Structure 1
Amino acid sequence: MMQGWPLKGMNRAVAMGAGACVTALVVSGCGSGIYSIPLPGGAEIGDDPMHLTVQFDDVLDLVPQSTVKVDGVAVGRVENIGVPGDGWTADVAVVVDSAVDLPANAVASVQQTSLLGEKFIELEAPEIDPSSARLSDGATIPVDRTRHATDIEQVLGALSLLLNGGGVAQLQPIIHELTVAFDGREDRVRALLEEANTLIGGLERQKNEITRALDGLDALSGRVAEQTDQIDAVLAEIPPAVQVLNEQRPQFIQMLTQLNRLGEVGTDVLTQSRDNLIADLRALRPTLQALADTGDDLVTVMPLIPTFPFPDGAEKVIHGNSMNLFLTLDMRLGQQLEALGVGMPDPVYVPPPPGYNGYVPNVDPSNPYYNGNGPRPGWPTVSLLPLPPIVPAPAPPAGEAPAPGTEPVAGAVQDQTPQNPLSGLLDSLGVGGR
């Protein structure tokens, strides 16, 4: 019995050595090491799977043989993780079941099964504008369509850095200084916060206007960008223009000095003539009032001014160097002399009746051309020829009765109007008097 124990122990050692040799041979026969050995219970990928390349900027602690899922269902596995020549991304080679139906612009992300679980790759269709083409064998999902979830280990590490010798210890002096600054100034701080709240509320109410202003500024910037060449040309012309202005600086100073003197003289003149200027303006008031009252008539007369004394449309009667004209002339000498005032009595002012032609004069009574001496109804006739003296009729001799028909009528006003001294002469010539 005692001799059998060494043989049994030796057989066990031989068995363990043989198993180690077999394991070493299997591992050495695999090109990628132990990671190339498929795990039991993995996803079924079929006989003709799709080979895809997914590019990540960070794969965290993803390892080969990790699961590839679509909608939470395992459809493949990670075959290899490598670094391309640029050295800034990670290329992950995966194989998935050929039955997977995803758009050509599918996205990929590194997810985690649980808080401390293993990593896997999730393939899914994009939320916006999925492609009509389908994902096929040999396709590559670029880095701009991949992402990775936040690693709990990174979060805990950052939290540990913050709590242990990080930023928390630096908050204490900041809080102390804020306490010292706000101590005794609570009301002012509260008022400041209320004003800030009011300001923010006003900005919130005017956000549409602010947006439009920013849009307008964007449009202006676009137009300025389109006119860069013109702006460059203008800016290139500015230095010579400034040089010219600099050379003419003494002349500008002299001109401004003279303008200052002119202003002083003008102010002095206006100050000294202020009363006269006001009086002249007041004297112009009746004239301006008359112009305003005749506004409609002025509009009617204006077309006649360029063609005076011919009415508007007279140019239609002119043909070349000839013109058709019809005139009616009254050449009777008596009518012309009467029109000139020969033999007319002295004018007597007759005031216009109230509401003359619907118009009541509204003028300054101090106007020297008012009350019969101006352009109003009753304007006196001025004779252009001298009037002969008025010779009164001779009185009958004393004691003689007046001739029949010449005695004055009681209560009647004798006519003092002199007769036209040329009436008899004109009648005898047949040219007519009055």
Structure 2
Amino acid sequence: MIRARTALPALVLSVLFCGACAFDPSSLPLPGAGVSGPTYHIRIEFSDVLNLPARAKVVANGAQIGVATNIALAQRDNGADHVVVDAEIGRDVELPAATTAALRQNTLLGDIHIALTTPPDGFARLLRDGDTIPVGQTRPSVRIEDTLAGIATFVQGGAVDQLQDLVTELNGVLPEDPARTAHIFQVLGEDVADLSVHLDQADQLLNGLTKDSEVMNRQRDTLAELLTDSAVDQVSAAVAAIVNVIGVLGGMAPVAHALTWLAPVTQSADSALGAIFPLIFTNRPLDLQAPSNLNALVAVIRDKLIPWVEHGPKVTVRRVNVVPAQGPPVPADDQVEQIVRVMRMIGVVR
């Protein structure tokens, strides 16, 4: 009898202990943590659900529409692991098949929940009971640990000191007068505003640079030859020669200053030659058969003056008597022809 009384409490304690080990407190519904009324089941795939609590809220457009009921690890066909979250959604909530899911938290230390985002024009096909939001439509949460580690790296890595040095250098560059500093930033603001107005021209500039880069890419072999050692030496020698030529031109500067008095003389000579050349030469100065003042002058000197000086006069005219002709009078045309013939003989006309 004593043994039975002793075994009974031990059995009760064992049952309670085993029941306590199998009991999951998170399975108990908490007030305000679930949804009332009928629900339908969906699955949400995540690549990572670190720190997602049990029975996490499912929120859409700022309102709770469901609750996560189970979190399990699964494996895709390609062998990669992912996490599947089972969720119960209120039956009166319609979610399109293109809904995206992300892990969010309202505060820095708050619990993580599942936030659903519905597209504005994707309600042609809705999620039904048993459907899945694939991993391609989900985003993992930003880990607080990673954020704090990034902040620690920023603070301890010397970035604050570098920022302080940058501010000091900027204060040294800017003028001491605040009005001038304000004017500088005003000009910069106007430049930015003007650039925003002429974005089409900026696009044309960028397109031109893109086309230039494409042309250079097509001429890559030629540019490679120009950048060889021998080509670089040739270009350097050519640049040195150009510099020497510029130096020679610079050395001629004193000579040019000494000859400045020739400028008005040259201008006067140019005017004189402009008046003499048309008088001496015609529009064909190299054609010796063409009539010109120079040819007439040469003919008079060669055919008239030189023979007269060499041989002297042959006939001395003392008196000229005009006797009327005995025959009929000479027509006027014949008289003009005889006069022209005589003038042509003496070289007056040709």
Distance 2:141 2:206 in 1: 36
The one-letter amino acid of 1:281's match is: D
1:1-400 aligned within 5 A: 13=9, 17=13, 20-21=16-17, 23-24=19-20, 27=22, 34=24, 37=27, 39=29, 42-43=34-35, 49-55=40-46, 59=49, 61-71=51-61, 72-82=63-73, 91-97=83-89, 99=91, 100-112=93-105, 118-126=111-119, 130=122, 132-135=124-127, 137-142=130-135, 145-146=138-139, 148=141, 188=176, 190-191=178-179, 193-208=181-196, 211-212=199-200, 214-238=202-226, 239=228, 241-243=231-233, 256=245, 267=256, 273-283=262-272
Aligned length: 282
The one-letter amino acid of 2:206's match is: D
Contact 1:426 1:433 in 2 (8 A): no
CA gap of 1:120–1:273, structure 2 versus 1, over 3 A, is: closer
Distance 2:235 2:156 in 1: 63
Distance 1:249 1:118 in 2: 71
CA offset at residue 271 of structure 1?
5.2
The structure having more radius of gyration, on CA atoms, is: 1
Distance 1:259 1:131 in 2: 82
The one-letter amino acid of 1:110's match is: L
Distance 2:328 2:44 in 1: 133
> Secondary structure at the residue paired with 2:269?
helix
Contact 2:70 2:86 in 1 (8 A): yes
- TM-superposition CA deviations, 1:350-391 (whole Å, max 9, x none): xxxxxxxxxxxxxxxxxxxxxxx9xxxxxxxxx9x99x9999
Contact 1:104 1:135 in 2 (8 A): yes
Distance 2:183 2:51 in 1: 51
Q: TM-score, normalised by structure 1?
A: 0.44
Distance 1:429 1:98 in 2: 138
> Secondary structure at the residue paired with 2:24?
helix
Distance 1:205 1:231 in 2: 38
> Secondary structure at the residue paired with 2:103?
strand
CA gap of 1:432–1:68, structure 2 versus 1, over 3 A, is: same
CA gap of 1:221–1:166, structure 2 versus 1, over 3 A, is: closer
Contact 1:43 1:77 in 2 (8 A): no
> Secondary structure at the residue paired with 1:74?
strand
CA gap of 1:77–1:272, structure 2 versus 1, over 3 A, is: closer
- TM-superposition CA deviations, 1:384-407 (whole Å, max 9, x none): x99x9999877xxxxxxxxxxxxx
User: 1:403 aligns to what?
Assistant: none
CA offset at residue 259 of structure 1?
7.3
CA offset at residue 246 of structure 1?
6.8
Distance 1:24 1:278 in 2: 121
Quick check: 1:432 aligned with 2:331? no
1:411-422 aligned within 5 A: none
User: Whose helix proportion is higher, 1 or 2?
Assistant: 2
- Identity across matched positions, percent: 15
User: 2:285 aligns to what?
Assistant: none
Contact 1:52 1:140 in 2 (8 A): yes
> Secondary structure at the residue paired with 2:191?
helix
Distance 1:426 1:110 in 2: 140
Distance 1:35 1:265 in 2: 104
Distance 1:199 1:53 in 2: 53
CA-atom RMSD, angstroms? Answer: 6.3
CA offset at residue 256 of structure 1?
4.3
Distance 2:265 2:328 in 1: 55
> Secondary structure at the residue paired with 1:103?
coil
Q: TM-score, normalised by structure 2?
A: 0.52
Distance 1:97 1:425 in 2: 149
- TM-superposition CA deviations, 1:21-41 (whole Å, max 9, x none): 56158x2xxxxx737846377
Q: Which has the higher relative contact order, 1 or 2, with Cα contacts under 8 A spaced 6 or more apart?
A: 2
